[in-house]
Each structure stands twice: as structure tokens, then as C-alpha cells.
Amino acid sequence: MGKNLTSRAEDYSKWYNELVVKSDLAENSGVRGCMVIKPYGYAIWEKMQGQLDKMFKETGHENAYFPLFIPKSYLSKEASHVEGFAKECAVVTHYRLKNAEDGSGIVVDENAKLEEELIVRPTSETIIWDTFRKWVQSYRDLPLKINQWANVVRWEMRTRLFLRTAEFLWQEGHTAHATREEAVEEAELMMNVYADFAEKYMGVPVIKGTKTESERFAGAEETYCIEALMQDGKALQAGTSHFLGQNFAKAFDVKFANKEGKQEYVWATSWGVSTRLMGALVMTHSDDNGLVLPPQLAPIQVVIVPIYKGLDQLDAISQKVDPLVKALRDKGVTVKYDTRDTHKPGFKFNEYELKGVPVRLAVGQRDLANGTFEVARRDTLTKEIVKAEEIVDKVVSLMDEIQENIFKKALDYRKEHITKVDSYDEFKKVIEEKGGFVSAHWDGTVETEDRIKEETKATIRCIPLDAENEEGKCMVTGKPSHKRVLFAKAY
Amino acid sequence: MGKNLTSRAEDYSKWYNELVVKSDLAENSGVRGCMVIKPYGYAIWEKMQGQLDKMFKETGHENAYFPLFIPKSYLSKEASHVEGFAKECAVVTHYRLKNAEDGSGIVVDENAKLEEELIVRPTSETIIWDTFRKWVQSYRDLPLKINQWANVVRWEMRTRLFLRTAEFLWQEGHTAHATREEAVEEAELMMNVYADFAEKYMGVPVIKGTKTESERFAGAEETYCIEALMQDGKALQAGTSHFLGQNFAKAFDVKFANKEGKQEYVWATSWGVSTRLMGALVMTHSDDNGLVLPPQLAPIQVVIVPIYKGLDQLDAISQKVDPLVKALRDKGVTVKYDTRDTHKPGFKFNEYELKGVPVRLAVGQRDLANGTFEVARRDTLTKEIVKAEEIVDKVVSLMDEIQENIFKKALDYRKEHITKVDSYDEFKKVIEEKGGFVSAHWDGTVETEDRIKEETKATIRCIPLDAENEEGKCMVTGKPSHKRVLFAKAY
């Protein structure tokens, strides 16, 4: 299997697109902007889902399911929300097709026009808050902590596999609280859950922060985010958690009787991560040979490739491998023993390298004679010979080592790519030539933010939560600033 | 918590609707025909999903995800398929809203009309076979065994929670094979998987069979089904598995090179079960006091209710209950210890009865003194006193006993409700007065089938797989028949 993969240095964007398709993660479909997530890609997404779902449940959330469709009037109830989503939504206007009278085929039946158009959900705040009104009466019904795994549609004009697609899969959490403080706490908690997931499972280091007003979610009072850095120096927003204030409670009239019996509006949060995480995963770790997957999310953690001629040799190898497969599975390691006789070992090596399988074991006649295995690490592309009696421990410890190593590598890259600058000229130079995050003073106005975006294509990724107070001057206007913010070009 | 539940005898249909809402399974939404699946209902669905997904993977299937939207032209490619779905589909015609020029609000932007309308998938054969064309070249690519968990939309005019909703959740399996025999075998295998799941996990006995031509899936050559019987004597189709022949391969030009290098069309199956299973679960086991859930699918298998006055008494009870909770969890039992002080024990008893929790333990001062628990079974509504040292074993064995008992009860009901008849008069009488399945001879024509349906509202549910050859005469026309088929009124 020749990989024929464009290198990152040659064309990072092309490398990404080719890699996603060639490694069987996803492909474009016949429907504009909508992707097909292929079995190998979906298996990674399922692992992400499984872990996130566990973390949501451990923090007291329950899953539910709300309608795909949102009546147009619902979307309009929260002013900034409709402003944010109306321009890119799929609109259902009819509920029937019929045979054309002129025999030209199947056409929309104009007699089956909906009284009110339905929007395919771009996000579900409106339909969910319309439901929460029925679920919340008293302080005893709060907090209400709901999550939904669903598909959503945003009619993006320029799409890219996983990073920006018209339809994508995600989870959206929606919670209702009795007090502002509790809602803010929830929004921060979920940002932290996302950060933990990204770092511990995806091996992707992230910076936690808040968005500026102009980058906030449509309808939020505060948007918390986690920002990752890709290998081409561009940032990627990997998850957001919103404190929605009482905006949706007021729009949908969701009140509760407090302990004193007084009616109050409920406080809200919402938070989500999507199949976009798949893009972040690919772009953080992978190399010119293909995917590099963290053991925690790899559908196959270890592959064993036999090197043999004829069935007798394969039998001899299998006698050694079969108990090893069992021993590794007993330790919770996902193993594939690839005995296909339709492909040569070299083809298989290439294939599993392309697919990012963390550890590859090879075993041939000499290994049989010596009682050894050849162990190859995908992350470092190094090989070593390990004795059969040590192989299980070796593989088990490699799972942790590789997980830690790829995180560290990504963290080192990010550390090298956060640059403090104090002048706009320097800023432009760094953004253009080095990339990465640029830490700079900004005067806090939308005007300056817009000007920087227009002139450099860099946006404020976040105001980092751990940013220290530091008196300074806006690099553009010279006006006073008390904190540095992080800029970057972004996906 | 008063249940105020209509009894089954009074109005079965009303009982069902009330129960689904009151037990927190689901409710209607503001969107016509679309339901909200509430956390308790969704927790049951998740258990169903988890078990089915495991069974699909054990039989060699992989999950993937395909687009929500289907271009109109795709749907039209398979003639009987479009015929079956065009009359009830949601059609996306535009991709943007805008502010009305007269200030009357948000309206569809007529400048954002799609060149080709998109249908919200009612089922995914067409989009999937359009993709399979790219995935299948050679016999080495076969069989291709894919499953998708997704939402689908069919614009039903009369909807009922879980049983018939405009949007529903389901899984749809789609497989491609080199030979007719292998595809037929796959379709039969999945029917058997569904039957196993229904009987062993849901506790719902089912009859396996094939559909008559007029009841077949639009585009199928054979539809296998599992048919269950509800407590009101009406049948419910709980799952279907279709042998699709080469219809979709021909419509989407999916060919493979066989071992001799010749191009052949691929053979197909598809199969699905949906949130409709939730309706079957409710209607098979539940009673006038509320849900009765099988332990295998119950989100809470055991609830423990303390009976106490004041915190001292509660503390004393908790000292006994806490280790029990741990011991049960160690045995894999899902336990809730309900220490809410906002509700009285009687309220809690009612609530868990309504929600179908299989086992309830109560412990008060006398139990503390005697070293006992009161054990109540939801399925039989019986109580007994059990010694503390025997309680773990008791509860563990009750899980199996209850699972078996509710299956047996449903099976006994069904046995009593399969009636053999040999005249059309008798048929009408049984269908009208007793209900259930009626086993009768039929001449095999669509005309007779239609006439019976029109005159009695009963349809042929299936030609049972285990039906014996038996010479007879059609009860309506007197024409010869070689096998009895099963009729029933159905959901």
C-alpha cells in the first residue's frame, strides 16, 4: 500500500484532506457539504463519545432527545440567537413529493406546504427551553442538567471534512439553575471537563479562556472555550461552554418559585463539542506517514503482523501469537492479529502506519527461533526487539508512554509557539512568519479587534483564564490594557 | 404522588398515552408529530442501544454515519422506493432566512433556494448505496456490513408517542454481498438477532416470519419481521430485515469483480429497529399501576426507600444501607438509595411503581431492630421480609426471576391469543371480540388481503417461518392454500 501522501511542509491543507480520506476516517458525500464518516473514523468518534458521556454522567448530567426541527417562530424568540443562525440554516417548507404532471419526474407537491417553516436545528437552545418551561416549576426542579447527542446543520459555504461541514455530529449540554453563580460554575465546570478530555484522552493540550464579545455564542453572556494549536501554527477552537444568563429563560418564559415562593427567571448554560474534535486530533499528532493516534482513542491499539511463507510457518507463528492476543486482551488492550494472505507484510506495515495504530508487533522465522518480537512505535517510528516473556508488560507500558509522549510533543510545540509581542509590526511579522498564538495587549474594543482581523486575519482566540494582570498599552491604538489576550489565525 | 392513571380496561389507548407521559418516558413537543424523549425514557433507549450495538458488532458489523439529507434525484432512482416514501417526507428547499422587508419578522430568503431539493432521510438506502459504489470494487471488498444509529423523518399524519412519530431514532443496517445466498442468510441472521434481543432483553415474545408482497419494504424482495402482541390484542411489528436483491445495486450501479474477474451486481440487505420498541416494551408488560420494566433494561433495578423520622433514624438506616448499596453494585446491580426528605415514603413507593423499578427495598425502625428488609416485586406486586444477611443473594436472584416471569407472562398471554379459524365469519368474530393473532388460510392474492383489511381492519402480520405445510382453503374465496398465515389488527 503506497501512501502517496502529500507532505505537511509541501501543503498542510492538502496533507490534511488526503490523510482524512486515505486513512478511512471520512469522505465527502454526494450532498453538498455533508460528509460520510467511515467505519474507522466513526470508531474513534465512538471512543470519544463513550469517554465524554461517562464524564458528563459523573458530573450529574442525564441524556435526553429533542426534535430535529425548530419552528421558525421559536428561533426568532431570542434576538441575537436568530441573528446568529438565520443566515445559514436548512429550511423545510413542504412535506410531500409527487409525480410531475408533465411526467418529468418527482417534484415538490405545492399542496403540501407547511403553515410554518421548520428549521433543521443548528443548535437546540430554543426547542429545549420551550420544553424546560414545562419541566421547571419550583426550586426543587433545579438544577436541571441535560445532555443530547445529536446531528445539527449549519449551511456553511466553504466546508472541510470534520472541521466545517454542513451537517455535523455533536453533543449539546443544556442546564437550568436557580442562581447566576451556580450557572457560571456549571459553565466553568464543563469547560474544565472538555479540557481534561482533550488533554488526557486526545493528548491535545488546550488553553482555557473566555471569548471576546464579538466571538461569543449568539445569545450568551459569556463564552468559555478551549483552544488548541495545530502543527501549521493555526489555532482550533475545540469546545465551548456558554453562560447564557436569563436570556433564554426570558425568551421562553421559564420561571421557578424560589424557597420564599417568589417567581424568578431561571439561569442557563449550554456547552458542546463536535466531530470537529476529529480534525483537531488528526492535525495535532499526525505526520507525513499518516495518522498518529493516542492509545486512549485508537480503535486498534496493537496490530500483530506475521511474516511467513506457507501455512506451516503461519501455524508456527500463530501458536506463539494466539496466547499473546489473549494475554493482551485480558489486560484491556485492543489487539488485531492480521493473518490476511492477500497482502504482503510491507503493505500491512504501511497500512497500519497510515491508520496510526500505536504499536505494531512483527514476528517472523528468526523471532520464532530467538523467542522475540519486533516492536514498532508509531509515534517515534522506532523499533526494538523484545523477548517473548517481556512482551505483554512492554506493550502495556507503551500504551501509557505513547499517550504521554504525544501529549508532551504537542505541548512542547505549543510552548514554542506562544510569542509575546508589544508592537503591531512585530505582531504582523509573527502572525505571518511563525504562526502560533501571539500574546499581546488590546484595548478591549470591537473596532480594534475588527481592524486586526481585517489586516492580519488573526482573531482573538481567548482571554486566557490564567492571564495575569499586567499594565500595558494596546499594540494598535496605544490605549491602556490590563491583560494580554491570545491572538492567532484559526480554523 | 397520586398516579391518576386511566386503567387498561377503561381505555387502553388513553392508558398508554398517560403512562408514557406520567412515567417520564416522553412527551409531545411544540413541533407537530415530534416527541421529546425524556431522561428516564432515554436511559432505557440507551440500554437497548448498548445491547443491540454489542450484538451487531459480535455479528461482524461496523458503525458509520451518512448524511441526513438525500438529494431528490437519489430517492427517485429506485422506483418502488420513491413510491413508498415520497408521500410523507420533509423537504428542504432553502438554506437561509432573512428579515422581512416589511418588518413583519423572519422569513425565508427566496434568493437562497436550493437548485435541487433535499429530503430529510426517511431511511438511508439511497445515500448509502451511492457511497457503496465507491467502496466496492472487488470480491475482496465484500461482504460490507455497516450499521448506522440515526434519526429519520416520515411525515406521519396521525402520530403517537414512540409508536408513530414524524421523527424517530433508529438503527439501520446496510450490507452488501457477493451472492444471493449470503445476502438472504444475513437478512435471516439479523431477524434472529432482533428476536433474541426482544425475547431475552425486552422480555417480549415475538413471532418470526416474512411479510406478504403488499406489506414488504419499498424496494425489498423479501421482508423478514418479528411480530409482538400487545395486551389489548393488537400486534406490533417490532423489527424488520430486508433482502433487497440487486435492486439498489442496479439503481446505483454497484458492481464488483468476482474471482474470475467478471463484473457482477452486488446483493443487498437492510434492517432496522427504532424507538418504536419503547412502545412495545410499555404495552407488553405494564399494568394499571404503571410501568413494569425488565431488569435487563431498567435504568434503576433496585430502589431503597428509608422509612424514618428525623436525621438520627436516617443515619441508623444508612449505616445498614450504605454497605448494601456497595455490595449490590459490586454484583452489577443498579441501585438508587432515595434519601430525599422532600417526599414521604408513600409518595416514593407510588413513584417507583409508576416508573417500573423491578425491586423496591424498604427499611424502617422495626426492620433495623429485626435485621430485615421489606422486599417488594414490581411484576407481581408481592412483598416479603428478608433477613439482612440474605438480601444481596435475594436481590440478585430476583433480577433473573423477574426477567423470566414477565417474559413467561407475555408468552402465556400470546399463546392464549393465537386462534386457528377456518371460516371468515369465525375470523371476523375473533378479530372483533377476542383480538390477538388469528391463524387462517388465505389464497395468496393481494385482492383477498385488501378485502379482509377493508372489512375487518386486520392485516396479514406475517407468514410464520415455522408454519407447517397444511392443505386448506382460503377462508374468504375458498381457493386452495398450503399454509396458514397470521392475521391481526396492528399498531
Contact B42 A62 (CB under 8 A): yes
Angle between helices B276-285 and B391-416 (to 10 degrees): 90
Q: How far is B63 from chain A (nearest CA, A)?
A: 6
Between CA B428 and CA B435 the distance in angstroms is: 10
Q: Rounded to 5 degrees, what are φ and ψ at B281? A: -60, -50
The residues near B182 (Cβ < 8 Å, ≥ 6 apart) are B143, B267
Q: How far is B430 from chain A (nearest CA, A)?
A: 38
Q: How far is A67 from chain B (nearest CA, A)?
A: 6
Q: Which of A94, A106, A130 sits opposite B30 (nearest CB)?
A: A130
Domains of chain A in start order, with CATH, are 12-78+123-285 (3.30.930.10), 302-397 (3.40.50.800), 418-488 (3.30.110.30)
The length of chain B is 491
For residue A81, what pLDDT band results from cuts at 50, 70 and 90? confident
Contact B127 A31 (CB under 8 A): yes
> What per-residue confidence (pLDDT) applies to A79?
81
- Mutation pick from B91, B126, B254 vs chain A, by most beta carbons of A within 10 Å, is B91
Q: Which of A86, A92, A153 sits opposite B97 (nearest CB)?
A: A86
B221 touches B306 (CB < 8 A): no
Q: How far is A43 from chain B (nearest CA, A)?
A: 7
Contact B96 A117 (CB under 8 A): no
Q: Which residue in chain A is spatially nearest to B37 when comparing CA positions?
A: A65
Contact A151 B146 (CB under 8 A): no
For residue B284, what pLDDT band results from cuts at 50, 70 and 90? very high
Between CA A167 and CA A150 the distance in angstroms is: 10
For residue A43, which residues of chain B lie inside 8 Å, CB to CB?
62-63
Based on C-alpha coordinates, what's the Rg of chain A? 26
The residues near A151 (Cβ < 8 Å, ≥ 6 apart) are A68, A167, A168, A169, A170, B68, B150, B151
For residue A38, which residues of chain B lie inside 8 Å, CB to CB?
64
Q: Which of A31, A72, A140 sits opposite B69 (nearest CB)?
A: A31
Q: Which of B35, B140, B146 sits opposite A39 (nearest CB)?
A: B146
CA distances from A363 to A49, B220, B314, B353, B443 (A): 34, 47, 63, 59, 65
For residue B433, what pLDDT band results from cuts at 50, 70 and 90? very high
Mean local confidence (pLDDT), B247-266: 97
- DSSP code, position A200: I
Contact A151 B119 (CB under 8 A): no
> What per-residue confidence (pLDDT) applies to B2?
54
Of A76-90, A244-258, B220-234, B309-323, least confident by mean pLDDT is: A76-90
Three-state secondary structure call for residue A306 = strand
pLDDT of B103 over the 60 cut: yes
Angle between helices B276-285 and B39-58 (to 10 degrees): 110
Contact B67 A150 (CB under 8 A): no
Q: Which of A29, A75, A105 sits opposite B127 (nearest CB)?
A: A29
Q: Which residue in chain A is spatially nearest to B67 when comparing CA positions?
A: A34
> What per-residue confidence (pLDDT) applies to A407?
98
Burial of residue B263, with CB atoms counted within 10 A of its CB: 0-12 exposed, 13-18 middle, 19 or more buried: exposed
CA distances from A462 to A210, B65, B96, B117 (A): 5, 33, 29, 39
The length of chain A is 491
A221 touches A244 (CB < 8 A): yes
Contact B63 A42 (CB under 8 A): yes
Contact A68 B127 (CB under 8 A): no
Mean local confidence (pLDDT), A174-183: 98
Q: Which residue in chain B is spatially nearest to A299 when comparing CA positions?
A: B62
Between CA B259 and CA B10 the distance in angstroms is: 64
- For the stretch A446-455, contacts whose Cβ atoms lie closer than 8 Å and that sit 24 or more positions apart, written own/partner, are A446/A212, A446/A213, A446/A214, A448/A474, A448/A476, A448/A477, A449/A212, A449/A214, A450/A214, A451/A476, A452/A427, A452/A476, A452/A487, A455/A428
Query: What's the whole-number average pLDDT of chain A?
Result: 96
Mean local confidence (pLDDT), A89-103: 94
Contact A90 B87 (CB under 8 A): no
Q: Which residue in chain A is spatially nearest to B154 when comparing CA positions?
A: A95
> What per-residue confidence (pLDDT) applies to A1?
47
Between CA A10 and CA A18 the distance in angstroms is: 13
Between CA A460 and CA A233 the distance in angstroms is: 15
Q: Which of A89, A106, A119 sits opposite B76 (nearest CB)?
A: A106
Q: Which of A65, A108, A131 sits opposite B91 (nearest CB)?
A: A108
Q: How far is B39 from chain A (nearest CA, A)?
A: 5
User: What's the ipTM?
Assistant: 0.96
pLDDT of B305 over the 80 cut: yes
CB hemisphere CA count around A354 (13 angstroms): 22
Q: How far is B372 from chain A (nearest CA, A)?
A: 32
How many C-beta neighbours within 10 Å does residue B293 have?
A: 28
B395-407 per-residue burial string, b: 16 or more CB within 10 A, e: under 16: bbebbebbbebbb
pLDDT of A2 over the 80 cut: no
Contact B131 A29 (CB under 8 A): yes
Write down the residue that cell numbers 497482502 correspond to.
Answer: A343
Pairing of strands A26-28, A35-37: antiparallel
